[in-house]
Amino acid sequence: MSRILFLMPQLPYPPQQGAALRNYSLVIGLARQGHVIDLLTVHELEEREGSSSAGVFDEANAPALADGLMPLAACCRRIIAVEPPRRSTLARARDTLLQPLPDMALRLTTDALQTQFARLLAREHYDVLQVEAIEMIPCALPKPGQPRGARPGVFIFDAHNAEYVLQRRACLADARHPGRWHGAAYSLIQWQKLVRYERRICQAADHVIAVSEADRLALQRLQPGLKVTVIPNGVSLEFYRPEKTAPAALRRPALVFTGKMDFRPNVDAVRWFVAEVWPLIQLRRPEAHFYIVGQKPHAQVQALAGTPGLVITGRVPDVRPYLAGADLCVVPLRIGGGTRLKVLEAMAMGLPVVSTHLGCDGFPFVDDREASLADDPPAFAEAVLALLADPARAGAMARAARAYVTAHYGWDSILSELARLYPESAVAHV
In this predicted structure, which of 146-155, 233-242, 287-296 has the lowest mean pLDDT?
Answer: 146-155
What integer pLDDT is reported at residue 144 of this predicted model? 62
Q: Taking the model in full, what pTM does it have?
A: 0.77
DSSP-derived pairing of the beta strands 78-82 and 55-57: antiparallel
What integer pLDDT is reported at residue 88 of this predicted model? 85
Q: Tell me the pLDDT band of 14, cut-offs 50, 70 and 90.
A: confident
96-110 average pLDDT score? 90
> By percentage, how much of the chain surpasses pLDDT 70?
90
Q: Are residues 11 and 149 in the same domain?
A: yes
289-304 average pLDDT score? 96
Is it the case that residue 49 has pLDDT exceeding 50?
A: no
Is it the case that residue 21 has pLDDT exceeding 60?
A: yes
What integer pLDDT is reported at residue 428 of this predicted model? 42
What integer pLDDT is reported at residue 50 of this predicted model? 40
Q: Are residues 164 and 287 in the same domain?
A: no
What integer pLDDT is reported at residue 341 of this predicted model? 86
User: Cα(325)–Cα(255) distance, rounded to whole angstroms?
Assistant: 9
What integer pLDDT is reported at residue 150 of this predicted model? 52
Is it the case that residue 129 has pLDDT exceeding 70?
A: yes
Is it the case that residue 103 has pLDDT exceeding 80?
A: yes
Structural domain boundaries, residue 400: 242-408
Q: Are residues 386 and 417 in the same domain?
A: no
Q: Tell me the pLDDT band of 261, cut-offs 50, 70 and 90.
A: very high
CB 172 within 8 A of CB 224: no
The total of structural domains in the chain comes to: 2
What integer pLDDT is reported at residue 159 of this predicted model? 94
DSSP-derived pairing of the beta strands 3-8 and 128-132: parallel
Is it the case that residue 344 has pLDDT exceeding 80?
A: yes
Q: Are residues 30 and 133 in the same domain?
A: yes
User: Cα(177)–Cα(165) distance, rounded to whole angstroms?
Assistant: 19
> By percentage, how much of the chain surpasses pLDDT 90?
60
What integer pLDDT is reported at residue 384 of this predicted model? 98
Q: Are residues 287 and 144 in the same domain?
A: no
Is it the case that residue 55 has pLDDT exceeding 80?
A: no
Q: Are residues 224 and 316 in the same domain?
A: no
Is it the case that residue 69 has pLDDT exceeding 70?
A: no
Which are the contacts of 260, defined by CB distance < 8 A and separation ≥ 6? 16, 17, 18, 266, 294, 295, 296
Q: Are residues 211 and 306 in the same domain?
A: no
What integer pLDDT is reported at residue 279 of this predicted model? 98
Residue 273 has what DSSP assignment? I
Is it the case that residue 333 has pLDDT exceeding 90?
A: yes
CB 371 within 8 A of CB 401: yes
What integer pLDDT is reported at residue 20 of this predicted model? 86
Longest dimension (CA), the chain: 66
Per the model's pLDDT, the better-predicted residue between 127 and 45 turns out to be 127
Residue 180 has what DSSP assignment? G
User: What is the tens place of the pLDDT at every residue in 302-330?
Assistant: 999 999 999 999 999 899 999 999 999 99
Task: Name which of 142, 168, 169 is nearest 157 in CA terms.
Answer: 142
68-91 average pLDDT score? 85
Q: Across all residues in the chain, what is the average pLDDT? A: 88
CATH number at residue 205: 3.40.50.2000
What integer pLDDT is reported at residue 18 of this predicted model? 72
User: Cα(26)–Cα(41) distance, rounded to whole angstroms?
Assistant: 15
Q: Are residues 302 and 400 in the same domain?
A: yes
Q: Are residues 331 and 191 in the same domain?
A: no
In this predicted structure, which of 42-56, 259-273, 373-387 has the lowest mean pLDDT?
Answer: 42-56
Give the 3-state DSSP-derived string for 286-306, with helices as H, strands as E and coil as C. Answer: CCCEEEEECCCCCHHHHCCCC
Q: Are residues 417 and 387 in the same domain?
A: no
Q: Are residues 205 and 295 in the same domain?
A: no
User: What is the tens place of the pLDDT at every residue in 356-414?
Assistant: 999 998 888 999 999 999 999 999 999 999 999 999 999 999 999 999 999 999 888 88
CB 320 within 8 A of CB 362: no
The separation between the first and the last C-alpha atoms of the chain, rounded to the nearest angstrom, is 8
Q: Are residues 95 and 222 in the same domain?
A: yes
Strand partners, 255: 290, 328
What integer pLDDT is reported at residue 109 of this predicted model? 87
What integer pLDDT is reported at residue 309 of this predicted model? 96
What integer pLDDT is reported at residue 390 of this predicted model? 97
